[in-house]
Structure 1
Amino acid sequence: MNEPHLLSRRHALIGFSATALGLGACATRPAPSPVNALFAGQVNDQGFMQSGYEGFVQAQKAFGLSGRYIDKVAPRKELLEAALRDLAGGAAGLVIAHGGQNNAAAQQVASEFPNVRFVVTQGNVKAANLSSYEVLQEQSAFLAGALAALTTRTGVVGHMSGIRVTPGLKGRAAFAAGVAATDPKVKLLTNFSGNQDDNALSKRIALAQMDAGADVIFTMLNAGRQGVTDACAERQTRQIGNVIDWTQRNPGVFIGSAMATVSKAVFAAARDHAEGRWQGGVLRQIGLEDPEAVRLALAPDVAAPVRAALESVRRDIAAGKVRIPEQYTGPEFTA
């Protein structure tokens, strides 16, 4: 397989001026410096990267921001660093690195460009000119675990992801905890394949999990989700999606979707920069208190008692009564 080129695309996104937005007469603040963004994946993956990209475009339109983005960069530290250096050059005021796989690269490059602001979305790094903005997808992942445990008929459920980055690991730990808290007798099969976008690989692993008894599979994949969806359609197995509401797209396959609208993290970072409220050295978190950002979507055929049980869990999480672990220590599934 050919590896993505370092900078496969450079895209200039022309910001909307304040005048074009009808704000010219009222504008008193000078135009904010450009906001650039890195998406270490495909911005049309119908998942995590696309959601972040949509937040970037929304912020450009809303706040008259100019800037550009780079996508299709392999998630290797040296390649991410090179892309971030490219984006930090010139007149950049803020560089947003979308995804926790950028943690180490952003720390390094932020130290080289002290006059540029950096944000890692779904990250956990901080410095004088570096902050992290995080949508707490682990809260909806815990609810996804509860849904899987409540709806499995075989007593076996699956989890599938690609690369082992902090958000994915936290999401897996939360899902596992939701399963165990709801029904400790349910068996969990969990796999990180090493690739978020390979449909042939994801289908093979999904079929192997089904052969091992899984009848509900939680996927934390990007473009590679379609392989699991195809396997589920063939075997009449239910899937729980993530990031966006997959129950709206295919309710016959998707019994639920652990929504974490990560576009809100990108949008919030750009908004704070544009409005002069950005601060370095902080971790901003958005959780279930904002249902537009974090929630569990359910397919129409989810029974009323299951819905009621999930609502009780949701309230407990929002009230801080549920501790969601960040690490999983159980067995791994290999196919």
Structure 2
Amino acid sequence: MHKLGRNLLIAAGLALSPLAQAMAADTDIAVLIPGKHDDGGFMQAAHRGYEKIRDQLDVNASFVSNISATSDPVQLTEAMRELAQKGPDMIIAHGGQCNGPAQTVSQEFPDIKFVVIQGHVQGPNLSSYVVRQEDSAWLAGALAGLTTKSNVVGHISGAWPKPGLIGRAAFYDGLMHVNPDAKYLTWFTGDLDNTGINAEAAAAEIAHNADVIYTMLNAGRQGVIDEIKKHNGEVRHIGNVSDWTQVDDTFVGSAVADASVAILNAAQDFTTGKWQPDRITEIGLGQGDVVKLTLAEDVSPEVRAKLDELAEKLISGEITMNTTYEGKEFHPATGDFVDQSFKETLKTKS
């Protein structure tokens, strides 16, 4: 069966004959991973998603990775275009930094289905699948506010895609909900993978009394881990994406948001005829084990109980989080607080 005809049957939700099902293995699904697929963070979650497609679905799965450490939109667009020229049935692009490239390239290749993971874009052949990392980030902020001793809490991220900004804002909102007097040091270094500049940011925040730091990083997180280890347990770390409390005892918690599940879901939806264009599909707190806050063993029963209570209120809607941060950012090189517009100068340099 020709791919177009097969896809029309699938899109219509019609059952395929055994022969057609066997030929459905000709379906090609490609995963585009902007960063390093073995970074121990968000990009590695994408690779886990690719592995799930490869191992669980009867399709031809492939991936490309390590395109741009700074999420350069021109490079990402060109990489996506090159991938589309190979003619896969679906391209799953990982990360909100792929929003713009997917909007552009999906219009150039109307016969290919496009998905952006953690995206907020839609179109005639384009949809987004979102794991609500802001839910676990909010709880991470509450954890930081409940466990800080210095009353200074840090946040470090790399790039500036919309999900990263939303996650930062949610973390701050959770912090303020439980500890409105806490001082907040937040910074985007411009590079998710560079260990050196992220270590420097951590050192500066610690020098300004931060004793809990939340990182939304990829390979660059190791620099923060190494810096925190120098402080003999006086500084704790909160990770994201996967459960970092199982990796290193400097972590007091981790804002888990397993984007690999969204990647598999998108591919499954396509192969079963459930995928629809022009839609944003979300997975959040309370929907299985995908989004959650994990805790280190030494977190007190009192803090655990409070976090459970807050999680229930988030799920029920009793707590409505603010996903916009309007405050200033802490510039580690100078120790000054600067307007958020300052990062535009860093973007032009990266």
Distance between the aligned counterparts of 2:281 and 2:119, measured in 1?
10
Distance between the aligned counterparts of 2:219 and 2:281, measured in 1?
28
Match of 2:24 in 1: 31
| 1:26, distance to aligned residue in structure 2 (A) | 6.6
Match of 2:128 in 1: 132
Match of 2:284 in 1: 287
Quick one: which of 164, 168, 174 aligns to 1:172?
Answer: 168
Q: Is the Cα–Cα contact under 8 Å of residues 170 and 323 in structure 2 kept in the other structure?
A: yes
Distance between the aligned counterparts of 1:327 and 1:125, measured in 2?
19
| 1:67, distance to aligned residue in structure 2 (A) | 3.1
Cα 1:27–1:220, aligned 2, differ >3 Å: closer, same or farther? Answer: farther
Distance between the aligned counterparts of 1:126 and 1:296, measured in 2?
29
Quick one: which of 226, 232, 250 aligns to 1:253?
Answer: 250
Worse-matched range after superposition: 132-141 or 62-71? 62-71
Match of 1:55 in 2: 49
Match of 2:309 in 1: 312
* Deviations, residues 232-288 of structure 1 (Å, cap 9, x unaligned): 1101310000000000111x2000000000101111111111112111000000001
* Deviations, residues 287-318 of structure 1 (Å, cap 9, x unaligned): 01224210000000000000000000000111
Q: How does 1:1-335 map to 2 (within 5 A)?
A: 29=21, 30-31=23-24, 33-74=27-68, 75-235=71-231, 236=233, 237-250=235-248, 252-335=249-332
Secondary structure of the residue aligned to 1:128 is coil
Distance between the aligned counterparts of 1:196 and 1:81, measured in 2?
19
What is the letter of the counterpart of residue 238 of structure 1? R
Distance between the aligned counterparts of 2:94 and 2:38, measured in 1?
14
What is the letter of the counterpart of residue 271 of structure 2? A
Secondary structure of the residue aligned to 1:31 is helix
Distance between the aligned counterparts of 2:61 and 2:296, measured in 1?
38
Distance between the aligned counterparts of 1:165 and 1:282, measured in 2?
19
Secondary structure of the residue aligned to 1:308 is helix
Distance between the aligned counterparts of 1:313 and 1:96, measured in 2?
34
Distance between the aligned counterparts of 1:115 and 1:322, measured in 2?
42
Distance between the aligned counterparts of 2:138 and 2:226, measured in 1?
25
Distance between the aligned counterparts of 1:202 and 1:266, measured in 2?
28
What is the letter of the counterpart of residue 52 of structure 2? Q
* Deviations, residues 133-155 of structure 1 (Å, cap 9, x unaligned): 00000000000000000000001
Q: Is the Cα–Cα contact under 8 Å of residues 247 and 256 in structure 1 kept in the other structure?
A: yes
Q: Is the Cα–Cα contact under 8 Å of residues 128 and 280 in structure 2 kept in the other structure?
A: yes
Distance between the aligned counterparts of 1:212 and 1:78, measured in 2?
37
Runs of 4+ in structure 1 deviating by more than 2 angstroms, as ranges, are: 25-30
Query: Going by fraction, where is helix more abundant, 1 or 2?
Result: 2
Distance between the aligned counterparts of 1:203 and 1:105, measured in 2?
31
Distance between the aligned counterparts of 1:27 and 1:249, measured in 2?
46
Structure 2, unpaired ranges of 5+: 1-16, 333-350
Q: Is the Cα–Cα contact under 8 Å of residues 30 and 91 in structure 2 kept in the other structure?
A: yes
Cα 1:320–1:26, aligned 2, differ >3 Å: closer, same or farther? Answer: farther
Q: Is the Cα–Cα contact under 8 Å of residues 99 and 121 in structure 1 kept in the other structure?
A: yes
Structure 1, unpaired ranges of 5+: 1-24
Q: Is the Cα–Cα contact under 8 Å of residues 50 and 63 in structure 2 kept in the other structure?
A: no
Secondary structure of the residue aligned to 1:312 is helix
Q: Is the Cα–Cα contact under 8 Å of residues 143 and 178 in structure 1 kept in the other structure?
A: yes
Distance between the aligned counterparts of 2:288 and 2:143, measured in 1?
18
Q: Is the Cα–Cα contact under 8 Å of residues 53 and 61 in structure 2 kept in the other structure?
A: no
| 1:37, distance to aligned residue in structure 2 (A) | 1.2
Q: Is the Cα–Cα contact under 8 Å of residues 127 and 278 in structure 2 kept in the other structure?
A: yes
Distance between the aligned counterparts of 2:92 and 2:48, measured in 1?
13
* Deviations, residues 143-172 of structure 1 (Å, cap 9, x unaligned): 000000000000100000000111110000
| 1:56, distance to aligned residue in structure 2 (A) | 1.3
Q: Is the Cα–Cα contact under 8 Å of residues 33 and 93 in structure 2 kept in the other structure?
A: yes
Q: Is the Cα–Cα contact under 8 Å of residues 37 and 87 in structure 1 kept in the other structure?
A: no
Q: Is the Cα–Cα contact under 8 Å of residues 196 and 223 in structure 1 kept in the other structure?
A: yes
